[in-house]
Structure 1
Amino acid sequence: MNSSKTMRLGVISALAEEQQGLIEAMQSPYKLTHGMRDYTAGKLWEIDAVCVLSRIGKVAAAMTASILVEKFGVTHIVFTGVAGSADNLVNVGDIVVADSLLQHDIDASPLFPRYQVPLTGLSHFESDLDLSNRLGDAASHFIENTLHQVIEPAEKLEFGLVQPQLHRGLIASGDQFIRSRAQIALLKQAHPELLAVEMEGAAVAQVCFELGIPFTVIRTISDKANEEAAVDFMRFVKSVASRYAFDLIKAFCKASS
């Protein structure tokens, strides 16, 4: 994949709160509706960009990514949003940048090995190294310099945001909201290197792989993917993750322009 070509950036999120502020920050925005989704195009800090909400789940995300490329001509894709932790060292408020992604709920065995996407020969889809590095740099800068300015003290206290960390590694996607320790234990047994779980990223990864589009996925950890995962989930997305996403995309675009 060539991540050095002139960029038209596609920014995908599953929920409106995960893109809060981005459309308002666009220069000369215009909206097109296609396939029951609103695509807003314009300039984000001098970068040609298209923002869209995919809605939740792998099919929704795959459709959205395909349309971004085929109809709107994006050359690079970033998926930003929240995820559940799949590792004891990954805590609420941490940021995970995907080095690779897999679909944890795909199983075409015995015809194909479990977790392998049939007829691709792959179970893990690697994100674009250059995009991931640039978003990782933006995340590090945000954690060190900006986070404590934009998150309210009450939210830091509520969610235990003492010193968030940046992680790089494996993210798994599936059409399930993971909400039990038993589910995480099974996934960790199968994939010991797993850092986070969500519901869209690996589908976008497969689309981008097949279309030759550089992509990466960046997730803010909203919960520990256990029995308390749904508690205050939307409050976290609105008051914490939305600020993360806005500032990370802003820093990324400014560094890329």
Structure 2
Amino acid sequence: MSVNRIGILGAMPEEINGIVSLLKDKQEIVKGMRTYYVGTINDIEVVVVFSRWGKVASATTVTHLIVEFGISQLYFIGVAGSVSLDLAIGDIVVASSLVQHDMDARPIVKQFEIPLLGKVELYPPKELLERSFYEMKKLESSSSLLQLISMEQQENFSISNPKVFLGKIASGDKFFANNNEKESLLKLLPDVLCVEMEGAAVAQVCFEYNIPYVIIRTISDAANESSHVDFKEFVGQVASRFGIAIIKALVK
């Protein structure tokens, strides 16, 4: 597939800062309270932008990337809270499918179904997903991610060997901050690995515009009572560095 311009979304400002530093011939374009950074990485033209938080904000951002900047492919990186016992802080989840956990238009349509699209889950294109997952597994096998953080950071966040998973991600306008919320979600969507606030909305826009996309999340917290503490420190100390490594592995 020919790629003319890649859009790169970061779910946190800290995550795009490092990626912006990779750009050659960088230009800044401010529109709609967002700063879009245009340049090249490995001679590939890219546009990097902070998605802003929540489904509406992120959908607006990716729509602008498609309509105004003409991207032909999208990578979205960010952090997420784990709802699976298999995941640890520092692990990477590549979304094989995405669902909006707060979508509920019953009795018009069934719970989680996107009105008018008739879909509960959205799936990234197979070829791009497989290539992205392969590149992430290479990072895992080489222990490249662990080498990006100090021993102190490894101990603080109990990160010993970041692993890469392929699975379902749930998105919604809600920050999960206790185990009861997490358990309630798992009763309805038992195969979800992690939760965040933007991915499924971005996937919907890409689906409607026929833009290939992949969404990759780094586990920052356990979506429980300590989430707000873990989240803030993890983004600044770990996720920002992991994001650079992820994009370097994908944009080449």
TM-score by length of 1: 0.95
Could you tell which deviates more after superposition, 15-24 or 221-230?
15-24
Query: 1:221, CA displacement in angstroms?
Result: 0.1
Which one of 24, 27, 52 corresponds to residue 24 of structure 2? 27
Q: Secondary structure at the match of 2:228?
A: coil
Q: Secondary structure at the match of 2:156?
A: helix
Q: Per-residue CA shift, 1:211-252, capped at 9, x if unaligned?
A: 100011000000010111111322100111111110110011
Q: Per-residue CA shift, 1:143-196, capped at 9, x if unaligned?
A: 232123211111101111111211101000000001111111111111111001
- Amino acid paired to 2:158: G
Q: Which residue of 2 aligns with 1:75?
A: 72
Q: Does 1:102 align with 2:103?
A: no
- Amino acid paired to 1:96: V
User: 2:146, 2:162 within 8 Å by CA — same for their partners in 1?
Assistant: no
Q: Does 1:130 align with 2:134?
A: no
Q: Which residue of 2 aligns with 1:242?
A: 240
Q: Which residue of 2 aligns with 1:86?
A: 83
User: 2:146, 2:161 within 8 Å by CA — same for their partners in 1?
Assistant: no
Distance 1:159 1:128 in 2: 33
Equivalent residues, number: 251
**Structure 2 residues without counterparts, runs of 5 or longer:** none
Distance 2:43 2:83 in 1: 36
User: 2:74, 2:211 within 8 Å by CA — same for their partners in 1?
Assistant: yes
Distance 2:78 2:191 in 1: 21
Q: Secondary structure at the match of 1:231?
A: helix
Q: Which residue of 2 aligns with 1:44?
A: 41
- Amino acid paired to 2:85: N
User: 2:76, 2:215 within 8 Å by CA — same for their partners in 1?
Assistant: yes
Q: What RMSD in Å do the two structures reach over aligned CA positions?
A: 1.1
Q: Which residue of 1 aligns with 2:165?
A: 167
Q: Which residue of 1 aligns with 2:205?
A: 207
Distance 1:245 1:152 in 2: 16
- Amino acid paired to 1:108: A
**Structure 1 residues without counterparts, runs of 5 or longer:** none
Distance 1:43 1:128 in 2: 24
- Amino acid paired to 1:75: S
Q: Which residue of 1 aligns with 2:185?
A: 187
User: 2:7, 2:48 within 8 Å by CA — same for their partners in 1?
Assistant: yes
Distance 2:44 2:131 in 1: 14
User: 2:3, 2:73 within 8 Å by CA — same for their partners in 1?
Assistant: no
TM-score by length of 2: 0.97
Q: Per-residue CA shift, 1:94-136, capped at 9, x if unaligned?
A: 0000011010001110011110011110010101222222222
Query: 1:68, CA displacement in angstroms?
Result: 0.2
- Amino acid paired to 1:9: I
Q: Secondary structure at the match of 1:169?
A: strand
Distance 2:122 2:231 in 1: 28
Q: Which residue of 2 aligns with 1:58?
A: 55
User: 1:14, 1:54 within 8 Å by CA — same for their partners in 2?
Assistant: yes
Q: Which residue of 2 aligns with 1:13?
A: 10
User: 2:176, 2:224 within 8 Å by CA — same for their partners in 1?
Assistant: yes
Distance 2:160 2:133 in 1: 20
User: 1:135, 1:248 within 8 Å by CA — same for their partners in 2?
Assistant: no
